[in-house]
Amino acid sequence: MMSVLTAVLYAGLLVYGAGWWLGYWIGNFSLLLFVLTLVTMAYWLAERFRFAPARAAAAETLTAQDAQRRAELSKLGISRVDGDVAAARESLLMQPWWLDWTAGLFPVILAVFLLRSFLFEPFKIPSGSMIPTLLVGDLILVNKFEYGVRLPVTGTKLFANKDPQRGDVMVFHYPVDPRIDYIKRVVGVPGDEVSYTNQALSINGKVVPVQPLGDYYDEDSLRYAPKFAESLGAVPHNLLVEPKRASIYRPMDSFVNFRDNCRYTAEGVTCKVPAGHYFMMGDNRDNSQDSRYWGFVPDENIVGRAFMVWMNFSNLRRIGLFN
């Protein structure tokens, strides 16, 4: 019965993973890992307190019965008895496959769940909106505890740590569809007035200075774009801006929360960041769907601060910390 139940559970897991991979639905890895932790924990507890003791008791019964049989035969003068219960005892004590693949995996899954939920979480960069800081295919690590400890799955903050600062590269749940994770740079914090007009960024009325660094060659798009150095607070970083490209900013229909905090003109957009929210922009300024289009990121959508590229299989030189 338990083997059939376990097979059904694994079949459901395979269907879920295949549908996610093929794009039939958007997966939620945090929820999946939470469910796997609970299920394997249930198997582990059952193994520890029921199945393992039952197997041990059966093995002891077998040993006792063999000893009794040998004693009775000995009374009859038969000292040599065929058969060895060692193999049968080992077979009784052996953990069945459905416990190997559930209870046996619980410690590993629990460790991954705790590490991913409260310390560090890996992500893969899917688009070029953060070029030149992050490239498509970069595998990054996100610090989950820097902005406060949150419950897994729900994201409810248990206690606060430090607040996001201007210049931080932050992963967050996309406000339009929280099932999707986005990564952008924090440009405006609560109370800031952020203006991006004529491809120049201003915060609270002060233009953020940039320094030209020459052209940057994007290997994905096979074209050059002007690269600049910019500092938001104490965080220096590079960005791409295309001065000859006309950018027209219009709010998406899904931009509904605090929509009145933004003013759109032919030159750009100016927004007042509401309390508990953040204004995000990509470093690839003219190729990024960000707060200029879909609005502000609420605090409850924050996942953590991205700080390191831990792998890029096509370019190992990418590995390291970044701003």
Query: Which listed residue (144, 184, 227, 272) is catalytic?
Result: 184
**Per-residue tokens: 224:** 């050059």
Q: Is 16 helix (H, G, I), strand (E, B) or coil?
A: helix
Residue 170 β-bridge partners:
184, 305
DSSP secondary-structure letter at 17? H
Tell me the C-alpha distance between 281 and 288, whole Å. 7
CA contacts within 13 A on the Cβ side of 289: 10
**Which whole-number Å values give the CA distances from 295 to 122, 241, 257, 259, 269, in the listed order?**
25, 21, 7, 7, 11
Query: Which listed residue (117, 129, 288, 291) is catalytic?
Result: 129
**Which whole-number Å values give the CA distances from 318 to 63, 90, 126, 139, 170, in the listed order?**
61, 51, 15, 9, 19
Check: CB of residue 184 under 8 Å from CB of residue 194.
no
Tell me the C-alpha distance between 228 and 216, whole Å. 9
Longest dimension (CA), the chain: 108
Q: Is 129 a catalytic residue?
A: yes
Catalytic residue numbers read: 129, 184
